[in-house]
Amino acid sequence: MTDRQTRSATDVVILGAGPAGLVLGNLLQNSGIDCVVLERAERAHIQTRARAGFLAANTVRILERHGLAEGLHRSGRVHSTCEFRTADGRFRLDYGGLGRGERHTVYPQQQLVTDLLTRFLASGGRVDFATEAVAVLDTDTDRPSVTVREADGHPGRWAARYVAGCDGRHGAARRSLPAGSVRRHHCDHGVTWLGLLAEAPPSLDAVGYAVHERGFAGHMARTSEITRYYVQCERGTPADAWSEERIWDELDLRMRGTEYGPLHRGRVVERAVVDLESDVLEPLRHGSLFLAGDAAGLVSPCAAKGANLAVLEAEILAGALVDDLVHGDSEGLDAYSARCLAYIWRAQEFSHWMIRLLHGPSGSDGTSSFHNSLRRSRLTSLRTSRSHQDWFAEHYVGV
């Protein structure tokens, strides 16, 4: 290997500059641990990529604990209400006054990523953008390495003591797992959403969940001028298949605009098709390689858990790495997988429950009728039972 292909060693190589990777990088850097973040996208892309926007109370506490919450305190909005619209009417849950009394903070993920990145770079951190991790090698040793394709197209290699795979379900960390070393749990929920970002003010002061015979529709405010919508569509529908007029007409119909007021319309600036899937790998540690964020487990967007789990896992991993690298205590690393999987499966269970609550089978056969009647009963219980509402609130905001 030539000098051009060799890089100096670092303590931890972090793959991916999303919430998991950047929280981990900041926490390691704060503890004096040398690390580098490798990100396959350009900087502008990760700072403008619209993703999740609801931060759980525990996520806010983690960011506060490590001095990473300045931006969300300045620009985030506290949110604590959701509204369900069904054929039997509508009802609201002030979940901030139920369960543990916790609320969400609405703060778009691209703004959080920008905050984390700015803080990491300002404190001397290194991020190599447009650098694609190709493979993680020698994870069964105490000197793993990561081969990369750099921004100029040349090959490179990073050596480290540990590698943190925060690069998603299709990243190099997952691809590099030794054959037979992992058990994959996967569920395709058979539901597809058309996800939309619209230059339109929110149409209600709550998260809106519409349960309709034509399919689900959802309303989630992002800012005073931007709203995210979801509308259920048939599997295989191209993102550009529906005109804007059809999109707004369908949203108005499913959210019962004639009964509760029409939606504020605006230009659709982003659209993407999302097949609702759940995916978990076990274990999350493979020698000197650790998985976090979507690389560890993909949670369907139905319950807004993905980014919150990523931040939690990053804090757990950071603490364990500090204990090992600074204090010579490997107990946290040994327990990392089991600790995170307990949170992941709890989030998966609630996400699965939400999917079944909001989506019913199509058709008029006896089985479809049975399951749709069950769904109607669940909604009635959620509307009328305080104990059911407390359970919902605790799991809706909790991680």
- CA separation for the pair 350, 71 (Å, rounded): 29
Q: Is 216 helix (H, G, I), strand (E, B) or coil?
A: coil
- CA separation for the pair 201, 180 (Å, rounded): 50
Rg (CA), the chain: 22
Mean pLDDT of the chain: 94
Asked if 106 contacts 77 with a C-beta cutoff of 8 angstroms, the reply is yes
Structure-token pair, residue 287: 């020698």
Residues 6+ apart with CB under 8 A from 64: none
Q: Report pLDDT for 3.
A: 43
- CA separation for the pair 9, 34 (Å, rounded): 9
Confidence at 365, pLDDT banded by 50, 70, 90:
confident
Q: Report pLDDT for 52.
A: 72
Query: pTM (2 decimals)?
Result: 0.94
Q: Name the residue ranges covered by the structural domains of the chain.
A: 3-53+108-182+283-353, 190-277
Q: Is the peptide bond before 144 cis (omega within 30 degrees of 0)?
A: no
What class does CATH assign to 3-53+108-182+283-353? Answer: alpha beta
Q: Is 336 helix (H, G, I), strand (E, B) or coil?
A: helix
Structure-token pair, residue 62: 């983690």
Conformational region of residue 242, where left means phi above 0, alpha means psi within -120 to 50, and beta covers everything else:
beta
pLDDT at 5 over 80: no
CB count within 10 Å of CB 256 equals: 17
pLDDT in tens, 291-321: 999 999 999 888 889 999 999 999 999 999 9
- CA separation for the pair 379, 373 (Å, rounded): 10
Report the topology of domain 190-277: D-Amino Acid Oxidase; Chain A, domain 2 (3.30.9)
Q: Is the dihedral of CA 263, 267, 270, 273 positive or negative?
A: positive
Residues annotated catalytic, as ranges: 79, 209, 301, 305, 396
CB count within 10 Å of CB 269 equals: 12
Structure-token pair, residue 340: 């995170």
Instruction: Write phi, then psi, for 290 (nearest 5 degrees).
Output: -125, 140
Q: Report pLDDT for 1.
A: 43
Give 91-142 as a 3 state SS string.
EEECHHHCCCCCCEEECCHHHHHHHHHHHHHHCCCEEECCCEEEEEECCCCC
Instruction: Write phi, then psi, for 358 (nearest 5 degrees).
Output: -95, -15
Q: Report pLDDT for 376.
A: 94
Interval 11-20 mean pLDDT: 97
